[in-house]
C-alpha cells in the first residue's frame, strides 16, 4: 500500500484540564510513521479552565478543536468527536498518552490483513504506563487468589495486588 492508498484515519482525544499532557501527545502523533495528509486529529475539550484550547490553537494549529461549553465526560466527548470525524477508521487516545511511531500503522495492518475486514470491529493497542506520570509498583504472588473489589463479583485472575503506590519510583515520592 502506498501513502496515497492509505485510508484517512481520524484520531480523537478527549481533554479536560490536561494541558500539561497535550504537547507530548500531539508531538507523538505528528511523529507517526503514517502519512500526515491521511490523519485527521480532533481534540474534544470538555470545558477546560487550564488554557488547553489556547495552547493547542497556538502550538498545534493542525488539530481540529471542538470546545464544549459543558463537560460531557469521556463518552460524550468521544461522541462529539465521532460526529466530526471523516476517516474510514477512528482511533481513540487519552490526552495523557504518548503513541509509538508505528502505533497507527500496526493497528491498521490488522484490518488490512483480514480477508474479510468487515468482521473486525475494534482493534486495540498494548497500553503501557509512560514513566514520568504513573509508575506503579506491584507486589504479587503467583497463586490463584480472589482479587480487588466486591467479593461477590471477584474472580480468579492469578495475581493479587497488595499495594499500589503512585509517585516517582526513582525518588520514592508519592503524589
In a 3-state reduction of DSSP, which class is residue 96? coil
Which CATH class name applies to 9-119?
A: alpha beta
d(C-alpha 134, C-alpha 147), whole Å:
21
Average pLDDT, the chain: 78
d(C-alpha 21, C-alpha 27), whole Å:
10
The pLDDT tens digits for 70-93 are 999 999 999 999 999 999 989 999
13, pLDDT greater than 70: yes
d(C-alpha 151, C-alpha 93), whole Å:
32
pLDDT of 167 reads 53
pLDDT of 128 reads 63
113, pLDDT greater than 80: no
More confident call, 160 vs 30: 30
pLDDT of 121 reads 67
More confident call, 3 vs 27: 27
pTM confidence score: 0.70
172, pLDDT greater than 80: no
Sequence ranges of the domains in the chain = 9-119, 129-175
For the chain, list the strands marked E by DSSP.
9-15, 39-45, 64-67, 89-94, 167-168, 173-174
Amino acid at each position: 500500500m502506498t501513502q496515497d492508498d492509505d485510508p484517512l484515519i481520524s484520531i480523537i482525544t478527549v481533554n479536560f484540564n490536561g494541558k500539561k499532557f497535550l504537547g507530548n501527545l500531539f508531538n507523538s502523533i505528528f511523529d507517526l510513521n503514517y502519512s500526515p495528509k491521511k490523519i485527521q486529529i480532533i481534540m474534544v475539550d470538555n470545558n477546560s479552565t487550564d488554557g488547553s484550547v489556547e495552547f493547542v490553537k497556538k502550538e498545534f494549529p493542525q488539530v481540529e478543536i471542538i470546545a464544549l461549553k459543558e463537560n460531557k465526560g469521556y463518552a460524550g466527548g468521544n461522541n462529539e468527536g465521532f460526529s466530526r470525524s471523516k476517516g474510514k477508521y477512528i482511533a481513540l487516545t487519552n490526552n495523557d498518552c504518548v503513541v509509538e511511531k508505528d502505533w497507527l500503522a500496526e493497528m491498521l495492518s490488522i484490518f488490512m490483513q483480514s480477508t474479510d475486514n468487515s468482521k473486525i470491529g475494534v482493534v486495540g493497542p498494548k497500553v503501557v504506563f509512560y514513566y514520568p506520570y504513573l509508575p506503579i509498583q506491584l507486589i504479587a504472588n503467583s497463586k490463584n487468589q480472589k482479587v480487588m473489589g466486591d467479593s461477590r463479583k471477584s474472580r480468579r485472575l492469578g495475581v493479587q495486588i497488595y499495594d499500589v503506590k503512585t509517585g516517582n519510583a526513582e525518588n520514592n515520592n508519592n503524589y
